[in-house]
A and B are shown apart, each in its own frame.
Chain A
Amino acid sequence: MGRKKIVKGLLTLVTIVLFLLTIFPFFVVLINSAKASLEIITDPIAFPAKWSQLFTNIKTIWTNPSVKYASSVYYSAIITAFSLILIAVTSAMAAWVLVRRKSRSSTIIFLIFISGLIIPFQVVMFPLVSLFRNIYEVTGIRMLRTVHGMIFAYIGFGAPLAVFMFHGFIKSIPFELEEAALIDGCSKPQIFFKIILPILKPIFVTISILNAIWIWNDFLLPSLILGVGQEVQTIPLAIRAFAGSFVKQWDLIMTAVLMAAFPIIIGFIIGQKHIIKGMVSGSIK
């Protein structure tokens, strides 16, 4: 019995050490966000002289014209929220009809969606920007530098994985369930929204968590569609606009980083139970 205890103690010790190493960068960000510009140069690993400096720094970032913190958080939130809901709903709709109608066109369309899983963003990004510009010239609908253009792009890029995951899940839902509802006089859309969608909830959660992390943090796509330093900018673009300059004010960069990470970490802590469960159950598929 003694040996088992030693092993357990050892494992716990290793876990704690690895855990501390993992959160060390967060610790670095936290202590350095509360330093003045000179202090951070002289000693980047000491605790700050006075924590109240943190609020001074936050105020500086809050009012900084290239960060535009409130506006950036707002745009990030709007874009992330709408994108992940629309990706999940539209992909579930598509996956459902693709599973339920067994025809050659369903198979082909499904394969086209799947092909999107191996097309890297780099191969479509330049033509995409030019296509968005053409859409504006032809239809007058502005796609570049707008929130709706950004959301539209996310629906397209998010579709392959979401359709793939929903497709696999819907296949396991017995068709009898829908037949019964059909006999009761439900229309097809009613069946989908009242019966199928509630069943899809767990996979809905998993997909939305993955998409939320992706979209909230995405940099390359928004930098092309929205542009760095424009009117509409998300948090990563704001960080880039601020930290990409030649003079590196590390005290303020650390504060900006802290403020950028803050919303999503709070979100994670609140929804932690569901997130961990959703990740574990969804990833095995």
Chain B
Amino acid sequence: MKKQKKDSLVFWLFLAPALISFVVVVIVPFFMGIYYSMTDWTAVAGITPNWVGLDNYKDMFSSLEFRYSFIRTFIFTLISVISINVVALTFAFLVTREIRFKNFYRAGFFIPNLIGGLVLGYIWQFIFKSVIPAIGGLLGINFLKELLLLSDPNLTLFGLILAFTWQYAGYIMMIYVAALLNVPQELLEASEIDGANFWQKLWNITVPMIAQAFTITSFLTLINSFKQYDIIVALTNGGPTDLYQGTVVNSTELLAMHIYNIAFKYNRMAEGQARAIIFFLVLSVVSIGQVYYNKKKEVEM
């Protein structure tokens, strides 16, 4: 009996530091947030928020800025997931071949991942604004010389995707490298003897063997694209403006930034919180759906 009590004490003592900090910074604010989203909360100390029911949610659905930001976030996420994975897979294939200095290239492709979103946002802002036109001038390509990438709403979105791919592909590459190194060489050699060509080997052996990695990489790229904030703050800060159904909107103010701006720039904390809740719900549904779908595919392969 005494031993059991002592074991129980050890259990809770070992659990306490991680559990307490996690509950305080994530779980409690999460439930506070659900409550605040249904009040007129202003975050000003000393003012008790009043219950307003679903008003904040209704305002959100009628807001054109929100709808626009939502669509843009989806476009950004979709293209980013594809572009990051294609680039990462290409990198991974190259650095697992029999080429010289492959560890050096592996490290090189990974290095942009060490640069934080904020810092790299400034680097790419400079590249888009000054370096690309200068290269255009040097090579005599007028199109590049006059390219004001950051003043066109659609091009800017692609600029963001480019910067994000540059940062993240090296990290995703590592996951693919790990998966590719796990593909048994004998299997590939045996199929080669049986006369399989490159594409047959790729499609029938390599792809099924790295299916598990696909689940992880799509999940990671999906949630991190959807939540993107740091790069945008430094690279475009939401701009340039665009017209959406007659309303002036910020073309790269994706959801994470939209939520932040509603709350802090326009001081509508409760509304920002309601949008964050929807953001969470959509992200959960999409990411869980993706993992579920991929897991099913994994089994089929």
Contact = CB atoms under 8 A, between A and B. Distances in A.
B126 A250 contact: yes
B259 A97 contact: no
B107 A272 contact: yes
Contacts of A192: 14
A71 to B, nearest CB: 18
Chain A: interface secondary structure?
Answer: helix
A94 interface: yes
A163 interface: yes
A239 to B, nearest CB: 6
A52 interface: no
Contact of B94 (A18, A25, A217): A18
A93 B276 contact: no
A175 interface: no
Q: Count chain B CB atoms within 10 A of each CB in A133, A220, A264 and give the residue with the most.
A: A220
Interface stretch (B52-60, B76-84, B110-118, B292-300): B110-118
Interface in B134-161: 134-135, 138
Contacts of A32: 126
Contacts of A160: 22, 26
Nearest to A45: B134
A135 to B, nearest CB: 8
Interface in A39-63: 40-41, 43-45
Given A29-B123, A124-B30, A276 B106 contact: yes
Interface string A103-124: 0000001001100101111111
A199 interface: no
B17 A93 contact: yes
Contacts of A133: 45
A238 to B, nearest CB: 10
Which 4 residue pairs across A and B have the least CB separation, nearest first? Answer: A217-B116, A156-B25, A127-B29, A127-B32
B98 interface: yes
A93 B178 contact: no
A8 B259 CA distance: 49
B276 A90 contact: no
